[in-house]
């Protein structure tokens, strides 16, 4: 750990960020360092580590210090690690967190995973050794001699360099985008192992699945968006995404709901929402799950799902329906819809609900279905 | 005396069998009493359901509403269940008896009439029936049931004679 120097963490010109990973704990050899929670940044030139709690605490080490490195797989209760073996400390190294270390290797412990990608990138950088071809502006003492001076981007060489940088940038973006995928792969791997072990246990009839494993399993499912099938409640799968979405929907639907007499069929909501969104459309399933988080979800008689303003209580709707019908003597669903600005489907639902409650009665004839106040 | 229609008769939903259970009960109660009083008024003892659908009681021509066959059957079934005011003559429920006055009541009436001495204690069945306006049109089966009721009560005895049945009153 004495190969690290204090750093401001800023990248120099010609230095590009390759990958960064949170949840890194540092080890001086086999000993845990006090630097136990931070972000590790791999650039084309250096390995940087910044403390997540104290952003001022930032250390860096040139990649040229690295002899070789290897992976250490995760174990029970232990995160996966990358062990990095280092050259001896150069004489002109700037001060760092450790003055002296008895080890010539360090470990990065990946508490929040990401080691696979990090390892891959590190391998790339160590193979390409880009720091040798495009030296950074600040004098960083390297084992293979120092190259100072800023290299400006002028002329054709400059243009070439710009293209090169752009390529690196794109590369980085892509790799960041795939970070999630690799995390998913890791999780999936764990899940597969877990499900295999459960399957085996069931096969061998070796007692019950431990509670711990059950909890882990459920949490995996939840984070992947599958609501817990064992304890599914009608009100919400509770995934973070759906709650966020529900909030968004709530704000968005306030005005349209009022315009439409306080009630909208879920299909109408779906159309409105996706039209408004433009991009990143909602899937019907997401919409349904988000709506379940609403407290004001109403399920009228025929199973038509509807989103309803919270201000519209059931009794209010029914008594207003009754008033309307009494006023006009009798109403069909179509007339009622016209009167209230509701869709016909919803107006029928409301009238049927009022009938169910006994406030209205129906007259079924060749002329159609008509609703009367219940004088019986 | 002309028949007076209840207010429901002019209420269109009355002719639609109501889906709401509570509403339906009230509706059926109204229908039962309407059917019975209509039959009483017109001295109807049997009903053919198909024919009944065209009769004014179940068919309000002015409103262009009529009760469906199924609903009529429900009404009479209800009458049967409620207290045997009706009884089906066949399995298909196409014809029924309407007892707007129960056999027991008929029996009592007959007994009273006999007690007042209008007839000798012995008499043939047809003699019993003819004469009093009250019993006008009383169909055989009803008469028989009424007398059977009296018999159960111990107030009469049906005698099988050569040319039919006779009754002895006590």
One DSSP character per residue, B43-59 reads T--EEEHHHHHHSTTTE
- The C-alpha of B51 sits at a distance from chain A's nearest C-alpha, in angstroms, of 20
- The C-alpha of B66 sits at a distance from chain A's nearest C-alpha, in angstroms, of 9
Of residues B16, B20, B23, nearest to A364 (C-beta): B16
Of residues A356, A358, A361, nearest to B13 (C-beta): A361
CB contact under 8 A, B8 and A376: yes
Of residues A330, A365, A376, nearest to B27 (C-beta): A376
Of residues A355, A365, A375, nearest to B19 (C-beta): A355
Task: Reply yes or no on whether the pLDDT at B33 is more than 70.
Answer: yes
Eight-state DSSP code of residue A9: -
How far apart, in Å, are the Cα atoms of A32 and each of A27, A53, A76, A108?
4, 17, 17, 10
Give the rounded distance of the alpha carbon of A165 from its chain centre: 29
Interface of B with A in 36-75 (CB under 8 A): 64-65
CB contact under 8 A, B8 and A361: no
Strands (E), B29-155: 46-48, 59-60, 65-66, 86-88, 95-98, 122-124
Q: Which residues of chain A carry a pLDDT beneath 70?
A: 135-154, 198-241, 257-263, 279-280, 291-315
* Residue A45 near residue A12 (C-beta atoms within 8 A): yes
Give the model's pLDDT for residue A239: 63
**Distance of alpha carbon A244 from alpha carbon A250, whole angstroms:** 10
- The C-alpha of B22 sits at a distance from chain A's nearest C-alpha, in angstroms, of 7
- The C-alpha of A349 sits at a distance from chain B's nearest C-alpha, in angstroms, of 14
pLDDT tier, B166 (very low <50, low <70, confident <90, very high otherwise): confident
Q: What is the CA radius of gyration of chain B?
A: 19
> Quick one: which H or E segment has residue B157?
strand B156-161
- Please tell me if residue B162 touches chain A, with a CB cutoff of 8 Å: no
> Quick one: which H or E segment has residue A211?
helix A211-223
> 3-state class of B116 per DSSP?
coil
Task: Reply yes or no on whether the pLDDT at B117 is more than 80.
Answer: no
Question: Which residue is it, tokens 């360090």?
Answer: A106
- Please tell me if residue B18 touches chain A, with a CB cutoff of 8 Å: yes
Eight-state DSSP code of residue A280: S
Using a CB-CB distance cutoff of 8 angstroms, which residues of chain A are in contact with residue B70?
Answer: none
- Which DSSP string corresponds to A212-224? HHHHHHHHHHHHT
Which of A187-215 are b and which e, b meaning 16 or more Cβ less than 10 Å from the residue's Cβ? eeeebeebeeeeeeeeeeeeeeeeeeeee
Whether ipTM exceeds 0.85? no
Q: Hey, which residues does A60 pair with through a beta bridge? A: A5, A48
Give the model's pLDDT for residue B20: 86
Lowest mean pLDDT, pick from A157-161, A331-335, B70-74, B119-123: B119-123
* Residue A230 near residue A310 (C-beta atoms within 8 A): no
Nearest to A171 by CA among A58, A80, A42: A42
Question: What is the CB neighbour count within 10 angstroms for residue B3?
Answer: 12
Closest chain A CA to residue B63: A365
- CATH class of the A5-133 domain in this structure: mainly beta
Total residues belonging to chain A: 376
Which of A330, A355, A356, A363 to probe the B interface (max B CBs under 10 A)?
A363
Q: How many CB pairs under 8 A join A and B?
A: 46
Give the model's pLDDT for residue A228: 40
* Residue A361 near residue A320 (C-beta atoms within 8 A): no
Strands (E), chain A: 5-6, 17-28, 31-32, 38-43, 46-51, 58-62, 66-72, 80-86, 105-110, 263-265, 297-298, 306-308, 331-332, 360-365, 368-373
- Please tell me if residue B126 touches chain A, with a CB cutoff of 8 Å: no
Own/partner contacts of B88-94, CB < 8 Å, gap of 24 or more, are: B89/B46, B93/B49, B94/B48, B94/B49, B94/B50
Give the model's pLDDT for residue A56: 83
How far apart, in Å, are the Cα atoms of B49 and each of B62, B67, B70?
21, 11, 9
**Distance of alpha carbon A194 from alpha carbon A211, whole angstroms:** 13
CATH number (1.10.10.10, 3.55.30.10, 1.10.390.10, 3.60.9.10) of A314-373 reads 1.10.10.10
CB contact under 8 A, B12 and A355: no
- Which DSSP string corresponds to A33-77? PS--SEEEEEESSEEEEEESS-TT-EEEEEGGGEEEEEEE--BTT
**Distance of alpha carbon A168 from alpha carbon B90, whole angstroms:** 93
Give the model's pLDDT for residue B82: 85
CB contact under 8 A, A362 and B19: yes
Closest chain A CA to residue B12: A363
Give the model's pLDDT for residue A237: 44
Collect all residues from A whose CB is shorter than 8 A from any CB in B: 330, 355-356, 358, 361-365, 370, 372, 374-376
Which of A332, A351, A364 to probe the B interface (max B CBs under 10 A)?
A364
Give the model's pLDDT for residue B126: 57
- Please tell me if residue B165 touches chain A, with a CB cutoff of 8 Å: no
Listed by start position, the domains of chain A span 5-133, 155-224, 314-373
Tokens for A133?
């071809």
Nearest to A195 by CA among A174, A179, A217: A217
pTM for this model (two decimals): 0.45
Average pLDDT over residues B46-58: 90
CB contact under 8 A, A374 and B64: no
Question: In percent, how much of chain B has pLDDT > 70?
Answer: 87
């Amino acid at each position: 750990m004495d190969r690290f120097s204090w750093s401001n963490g800023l990248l120099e010109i010609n230095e590009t960020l390759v990958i960064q990973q949170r949840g890194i704990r540092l080890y001086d050899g086999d000993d845990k360092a006090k630097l136990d929670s931070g972000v590790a940044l791999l650039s084309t030139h250096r390995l940087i580590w910044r403390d997540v709690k104290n952003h001022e605490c930032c250390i860096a080490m040139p990649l040229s210090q690295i002899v070789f490195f290897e992976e250490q797989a995760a174990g029970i209760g232990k995160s996966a690690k990358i062990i990095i073996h280092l050259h001896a400390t150069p004489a002109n190294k700037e001060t760092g967190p450790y003055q002296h270390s008895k080890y010539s290797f360090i470990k990065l412990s990946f508490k929040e995973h990401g080691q696979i990608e990090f390892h891959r990138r590190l391998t790339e950088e160590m193979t390409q050794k880009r720091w040798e071809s495009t030296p950074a502006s600040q004098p960083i003492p390297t084992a293979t001699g120092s190259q100072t001076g800023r290299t400006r981007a002028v002329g054709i060489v400059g243009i070439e360099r710009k293209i090169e940088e752009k390529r690196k940038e794109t590369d980085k973006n892509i790799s960041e985008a795939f970070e999630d995928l690799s995390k998913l792969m890791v999780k999936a791997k764990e899940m597969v192992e877990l499900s295999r072990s459960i399957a085996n246990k069931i096969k061998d009839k070796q007692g019950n699945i431990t509670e711990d494993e059950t909890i882990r399993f459920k949490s995996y499912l939840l984070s992947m968006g599958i609501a817990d099938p064992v304890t599914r409640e009608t009100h919400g799968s509770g995934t973070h995404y759906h709650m966020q979405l529900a909030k968004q929907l709530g704000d968005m639907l306030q005005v349209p709901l009022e315009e439409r007499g306080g009630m909208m069929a879920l299909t109408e909501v779906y159309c409105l929402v996706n039209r408004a969104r433009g991009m990143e459309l909602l899937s019907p399933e997401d919409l349904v799950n988000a709506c379940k988080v609403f407290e004001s979800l109403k399920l009228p008689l025929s199973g038509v799902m509807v989103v309803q303003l919270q201000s519209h209580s059931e009794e209010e709707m029914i008594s207003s329906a009754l008033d309307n019908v009494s006023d006009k003597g009798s109403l069909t669903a179509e007339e009622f819809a016209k009167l209230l600005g509701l869709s016909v489907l919803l107006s029928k639902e409301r009238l049927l609900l009022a009938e169910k409650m006994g406030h209205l009665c129906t007259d079924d004839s060749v002329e159609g279905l008509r609703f009367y106040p219940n004088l019986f | 005396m002309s028949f007076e229609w209840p207010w429901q008769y002019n209420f269109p939903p009355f002719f639609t069998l109501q889906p709401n259970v509570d509403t339906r009960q009230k509706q059926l109660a109204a229908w039962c009493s309407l059917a019975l009083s209509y039959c009483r008024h017109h001295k109807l003892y049997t009903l053919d359901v198909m024919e009944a659908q065209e009769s004014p009681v179940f068919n309000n021509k002015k409103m262009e509403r009529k009760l469906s066959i199924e609903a009529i059957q429900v009404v009479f079934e209800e009458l049967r269940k409620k207290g045997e005011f009706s009884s089906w003559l066949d399995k298909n429920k196409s014809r029924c008896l309407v007892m707007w006055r129960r056999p027991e009541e008929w029996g009592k009436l007959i007994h009273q009439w006999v007690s007042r001495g209008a007839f000798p204690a012995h008499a043939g069945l047809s003699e019993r029936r003819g004469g009093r306006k009250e019993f006008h049109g009383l169909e055989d089966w009803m008469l028989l049931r009424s007398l059977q009721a009296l018999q159960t009560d111990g107030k009469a005895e049906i005698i099988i004679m050569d040319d039919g049945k006779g009754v002895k009153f006590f």
